[in-house]
């Protein structure tokens, strides 16, 4: 009988990453009825603190699932880089768990600039001029503000999620 090239730890990581991606999708869909209120930002911050570079696997698995569920080219293109921006910001923070307020501020600011981050793809997708893109950003500010408030509030859960993920990794 031929020995498998997969080790138990590889299989464990694969299953973990799939579950983390599924949690992202489920949490997003669960709160879809609330405009711009989501757990994805908080979960991605926690994943990044705990798993560092490996956090990119569930992030892009989430993007792939979202592309299948919502095959709009513009949202898929935005998700390809928007979540990477958040990942980079969190990677620049210290590796240890920080006070909840820091995660709340990062999440809130990310929510506030989310529309600006999405503007280049929207401008290309809809053929907007620079003036049209700016108008699109300004028109979206109320949504970005609600996104920021939601991310700020939910960001308080980030240290709790980090501690839970670390505990699960140990057990």
98 in a structural domain? yes
Q: How many domains does the chain have?
A: 1
Asked whether residue 165 is assigned to any structural domain, the reply reads yes
Burial 148-164 (b: 16+ CB within 10 A, else e): bebbbebbebbbebbee
b/e string for 108-146 if b means 16 or more Cβ within 10 A?
A: bebbbbbbebbbebbbeeeebeeeebeebbeebeeebee
Q: Please report how many Cα atoms fall inside a 13 Å half-sphere around the Cα of residue 43, on the Cβ side.
A: 19
Q: What is the pLDDT along the chain (171 residues), one digit of tens a residue?
A: 556 565 667 888 999 999 999 999 999 999 999 988 999 999 999 999 999 999 999 999 999 999 999 887 778 888 999 999 999 999 998 877 789 999 999 999 999 999 999 998 889 888 999 999 999 999 999 999 999 999 999 999 999 999 999 999 998
Kindly state the DSSP code that residue 11 receives in the 8-state scheme.
H
Q: Specify if 60 maps to a domain.
A: yes
Cα separation of 121 and 159, whole Å? 32
> Would you state the pLDDT for residue 152?
97
Q: Is residue 3 part of a domain?
A: no
pLDDT given for residue 2 in this prediction: 58
Domain contains 69: yes
Q: Is residue 130 part of a domain?
A: yes
Rounded Cα gap, residues 38 and 66, in angstroms: 14
Residue 51 belongs to domain spanning: 8-170
| pTM passes above 0.75 | yes
**Residue 2 placed within a domain:** no
């Amino acid at each position: 009988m031929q020995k498998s090239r997969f080790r138990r730890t590889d299989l464990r990581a694969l299953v973990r990453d799939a579950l983390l991606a599924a949690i992202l999708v489920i949490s997003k869909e669960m709160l879809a009825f609330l405009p711009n209120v989501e757990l994805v930002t908080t979960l991605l911050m926690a994943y990044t603190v705990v798993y560092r570079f490996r956090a990119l696997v569930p992030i892009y698995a989430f993007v792939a699932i979202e592309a299948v569920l919502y095959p709009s080219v513009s949202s898929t293109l935005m998700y390809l880089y928007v979540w990477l921006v958040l990942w980079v910001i969190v990677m620049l923070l210290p590796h240890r768990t920080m006070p909840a307020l820091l995660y709340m501020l990062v999440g809130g600011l990310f929510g506030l600039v989310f529309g600006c981050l999405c503007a280049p793809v929207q401008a290309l997708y809809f053929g907007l001029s620079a003036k049209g893109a700016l108008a699109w950003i300004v028109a979206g500010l109320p949504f970005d503000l609600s996104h920021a408030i939601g991310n700020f509030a939910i960001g308080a859960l980030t240290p709790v999620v980090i501690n839970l993920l670390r505990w699960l990794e140990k057990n």
